[in-house]
Amino acid sequence: MRSDEEGIGLSPADEGTKTLSRRRWLQLTAGSSVGLALGSVVDVTEVRAATRDVKLANVTEHTTSCNFCSCGCGMIASVREGKLIAIEGDYDHVVNRGSLCAKGLSMFPTHASPLRNKVPRYRAPGSDHWEELSWDEAIDKIAKKLRKTRDESWIASEEVGGRTVPVHRTDAIAFMGGAQNTTEECYLFQKAMRLLGVVYVEHQARL
């Protein structure tokens, strides 16, 4: 059997023998036959449009930003019935124009992972395991530690040029902000840290 007589191209394997097996012939023709049969009984364009409508039914879209690095790429989060179902790059965002790097693309799997940490966890000094805390317990623990560290490291005054000047600070605490914090959040962070006497206030993007 010659391929040009049949109007069917042979694969390199078929070329070797210049024959076309019954199985191979069925493989080559099955796809196009199904497509022709479907095309004659349904409007494929209509079906595609309907499928897309079903896919988008009851979905609301929210703009957000990637929290993995300081670039601040824009994302669109799709939510159905209060549940996040997809995240994609925001084509209208000035930073990334819809593109995302590998980390950004892994945002949704990270969100959906059963291993995702959803509650505060604490590992005591010397312990070999983590224990779960309630949010109130975690906040209480952090507040006590903050207070203790601040009190123990407080610097009320310093000698500057032969004069004693008040400085009112601690050098034992630092604060780290992130690219995803809003301007309002950053304002509040600054206020809180300055009130505590913290001078080392940094931003993730400068690391």
Cβ distance 127 to 137 under 8 Å? no
Select the span of 12-20, 42-50, 62-70, 197-205 touching ligand SF4 (CB under 6 A).
62-70
Q: How far apart are CA 64 and CA 87, in angstroms?
A: 9
Q: Which of 62, 61, 65 is nearest to 180 (CA)?
A: 65
Per CB under 6 A, the list member of 84, 101, 133, 193 interacting with ligand SF4 is: 101
Q: At its nearest, how many Å lie between ligand SF4 and the CB of residue 104? A: 2
Any contact of residue 103 with ligand SF4 (CB under 6 A)? yes
Residue 25 binds ligand SF4 (CB under 6 A): no
Least Å distance, CB 78 to ligand SF4, is 17
With beta carbons less than 8 A apart as the criterion, state whether 55 and 67 touch: no
> By CB under 6 A, is residue 104 in contact with ligand SF4?
yes
Tokens at 141, concatenated: 């623990």
Binding-site member from 8, 69, 146, 186 for ligand SF4 (CB under 6 A):
69
Please report whether residue 93 would count as binding ligand SF4 according to CB under 6 A.
no
Of 10, 100, 173, 198, the one binding ligand SF4 by CB under 6 A: 100
* Residue 108 contacts ligand SF4 per CB under 6 A: no
Decide: is 87 part of the binding site for ligand SF4 (CB under 6 A).
no
Binding status of residue 77 toward ligand SF4 by CB under 6 A: no
**Binding residue for ligand SF4 (CB under 6 A) from 10, 66, 87, 173?**
66
Q: How far is CA 128 from the centre of its chain?
A: 30
Q: Is the Cβ of residue 8 or residue 101 nearer to ligand SF4 in the bound state?
A: 101
Binding site for ligand SF4 (CB under 6 A): 66, 68-69, 71-73, 96, 100-101, 103-104
